[in-house]
Structure 1
Amino acid sequence: MSVYTKTGDDGNTFLLNGDRVSKYDLRIKALGNLDELTSHLGYIKAKIKDDEIKKEIEKAQINIKMILSEIADGKSDKWHLSEDDVLAIERLIDNYQNAMQIQDKFILPGENEISALVDIARAIARRTERILIEVDKKYPLDINSKVYINRLSDYLFVLARYMEVRGKIEEKVTSIIKEQYKKVDKDLKLNLNIAKKLMEKVEKKAESINLPVAIAIVDMSGNLIAAHFMDGTLLESMNLAINKAYTSVALKMPTHELSKLSQPGESLYGINTTDNRIVVFGGGCPIKYHGKIIGGIGVSGGTAEQDIELSLYGVDVFEEVI
């Protein structure tokens, strides 16, 4: 069956009861407003993370569909809300009011995204209520339908204020956690446990390309914490790995970058002659944590490109092992 029927091309449409009316009919306007309201509630439901509030909003959508059916069919005795539906939403309003202090003043929507969205739904609910009052004059509606939409706008008002308060609390908690995290950052130091886990990661990466290498980890002062020698690695690779890690910390840069600066005519040409531990080819990288150098990693055993790849990989996965 096609979505388009062409039956409304002349500006008329069918109600649920079979009556054909103009799309300017007051009932059609009311149905459009109710559809807009429940669609916007659906957007809010998709954005909110709280499962209980999701259930509250979904219940409101179900009740709105009942009012839609009542208007479209013209039979309030077939499609109607109960007094319990009204009492249920009043209890929700009371619960939110009791959970916070709502100031008696004009509000300025937009404290946060969710509260702003709820305020838009509230405005749509108020507009819908006005149209329902007009409809009721000509096509009488069940009293609970009119009362429910009124209470729904009140519910959305207090929900928006609640989401503002909740947003501020979450922001404060997040700020406290970040501050605590920063304090931990200052005290973080490389140790043997972290070094062993990091070397294990790099070793697995080296195994995936069938390359035996030596891996070394030094602290922020260039002192060796741990070194690992894979089977089949060249003997000299261990010393090179240690010196690459040392160089990256001593000069605060990856050794492949130092390599470029140590070429003839560049600013650091000849630096490797000043200290026999300085290595000017790739495979050493400083390890940083939140912008601060806390140590270095050196890898040796493959081509320069392979050593660079593995040392950079070690830097990338560092935070996974702490």
Structure 2
Amino acid sequence: MKVYTKTGDAGQTSLLSKERVYKDSARVQAYGTVDEANAAMGLAKSLTEKDWAKEIIHKIQGELIFLNADLATAEVTNHSNSRISNTHIESLEKLIDSLEERRIPQPYFVTPGSTAAGAALDLARTITRRAERCVVALKREEQVFAPVPLYLNRLSDLLFVLARCVEQEELLVNITKKVQGILEPSAFNNNAKLSIPVLTKSRQLLDAARNKALEMGIAMVIAIVDNNGTLVVQERMDNSLLASVALALDKAYTAVALRMPTAQAAALAAPGQELYGINTTNSRLVVFGGGLPIYDQGILFGGIGVSGGSVAQDILVANAGLAAF
């Protein structure tokens, strides 16, 4: 059988009942738009490396073929005869709930395009919304199986959540690679020797930071780690917050691990920035100010972390400690 049949040259096509209708009819517009959404989902499936996502997409693509068969059926005498049922809709809802549990909440409007697969899923989502609008228009003129518009509505919701989960996982993989690159020790740092005793200098830094905190009248916790992120000295001032003990140490660790001030890491970890989500890859990474890396003539000495005041106050005390170097 040839691909071109010439039967549609006059601008008409056949429904499942063999009834001939014009290609721009509301019914053909509806199932044609669903077919477009299916193609966009195929693009997303080819772009993602996540097997679990490919399985979800492939299953739905099969269901869309049945849904289009329902849309190509003009005579709806019994809604129980539809190929898409409430069971399919319930399955989508359960899938949405499970994906919502695994995705990172995003309390802002999403701009598509963070990853290729996520962008393709967002494209499929918007086409599915258009298909739903086409079906709503069709229902005002002709009969449509009841589950069809409900399925499309839930599908668009699913595609939104699926896009977020796929792009977040891909972003975390990219971030992990970047962090691993940052954490790999350089040959220079491995071979060079620090010009001063670590413990002696760490105590000097801690004393300077404590004096600044006393001058400001704020009870703080100050931690100094070596260039491996291991604690060297830590002091908890009277009446400082218990939570600050862990926070000060983790700020110092983060400054060494990322080789940058934690305030800079905070800016890079903001939504849409290069290191967005980095704090979810390692529970010790703290992405707000108060941690600074310490260098001795270009060699990473360690890090200082301060917690107990506002972010600005923590940074001020950390800088006072760093100035003693």
Interval of TM-score (by shorter of Structure 1 and Structure 2) = 0.5 to 0.7
Q: SS at the partner of 1:13?
A: strand
2:21 and 2:114 mapped to 1: Cα distance? 42
Residue of structure 1 in register with 2:116 after alignment:
113
1:182 and 1:68 mapped to 2: Cα distance? 57
Letter in 1 for 2:165: Y
Residue of structure 1 in register with 2:289 after alignment:
none
Q: 1:95 aligns with which of 95, 98, 109?
A: 98
Letter in 2 for 1:47: L
Work out the number of aligned pairs and report it.
188
| Deviation, structure 1 residue 140 | 2.1
| Deviation, structure 1 residue 32 | 1.0
Structure 2 residue 52 is matched with structure 1 residue 49: no
1:187 and 1:67 mapped to 2: Cα distance? 63
Q: 1:175 aligns with which of 157, 178, 181?
A: 178
Structure 2 residue 69 is matched with structure 1 residue 69: yes
RCO comparison, higher one (Cα < 8 Å, 6+): 2
Contiguous gaps of at least 5 residues in structure 2: 192-325
1:119 and 1:33 mapped to 2: Cα distance? 15
Residue of structure 1 in register with 2:232 after alignment:
none
Q: SS at the partner of 1:138?
A: coil
Contiguous gaps of at least 5 residues in structure 1: 189-322
1:6 and 1:77 mapped to 2: Cα distance? 35
Superposed counterparts of 1:1-322, under 5 Å = 1-74=1-74, 75=76, 76-181=79-184, 183=186
Q: Deviations over 1:20-48 (max 9, x none)?
A: 01111111111210111111111111111
- Against the structure 1 CA distance between its residues 184 and 86, is the aligned structure 2 distance closer, same or farther, given a 3 Å change threshold? farther
| Deviation, structure 1 residue 125 | 0.6
Q: SS at the partner of 2:113?
A: coil
Letter in 2 for 1:31: Y
2:146 and 2:82 mapped to 1: Cα distance? 12
| Deviation, structure 1 residue 77 | 4.2
1:182 and 1:27 mapped to 2: Cα distance? 63
Q: Which has the larger radius of gyration?
A: 1
1:182 and 1:23 mapped to 2: Cα distance? 64
Q: Is the 8 A contact 1:80 1:144 kept in 2?
A: no
Q: Is the 8 A contact 1:80 1:145 kept in 2?
A: no
Q: SS at the partner of 1:9?
A: coil
Letter in 2 for 1:116: A
Q: Is the 8 A contact 1:44 1:114 kept in 2?
A: yes
Q: SS at the partner of 1:114?
A: helix
Q: SS at the partner of 1:21?
A: strand
Q: CA RMSD in A?
A: 2.2
Q: Deviations over 1:290-316 (max 9, x none)?
A: xxxxxxxxxxxxxxxxxxxxxxxxxxx
- Against the structure 1 CA distance between its residues 7 and 94, is the aligned structure 2 distance closer, same or farther, given a 3 Å change threshold? same
Q: Deviations over 1:139-197 (max 9, x none)?
A: 22222211111011001111122223223211111112323456479879xxxxxxxxx
2:106 and 2:190 mapped to 1: Cα distance? 44
Q: Is the 8 A contact 2:70 2:83 kept in 1?
A: yes
2:122 and 2:181 mapped to 1: Cα distance? 30
Q: SS at the partner of 1:2?
A: coil
Q: Is the 8 A contact 1:109 1:119 kept in 2?
A: yes
After TM superposition, the score normalised by the length of structure 1 is: 0.54
- Against the structure 1 CA distance between its residues 185 and 62, is the aligned structure 2 distance closer, same or farther, given a 3 Å change threshold? farther
| Deviation, structure 1 residue 104 | 4.2
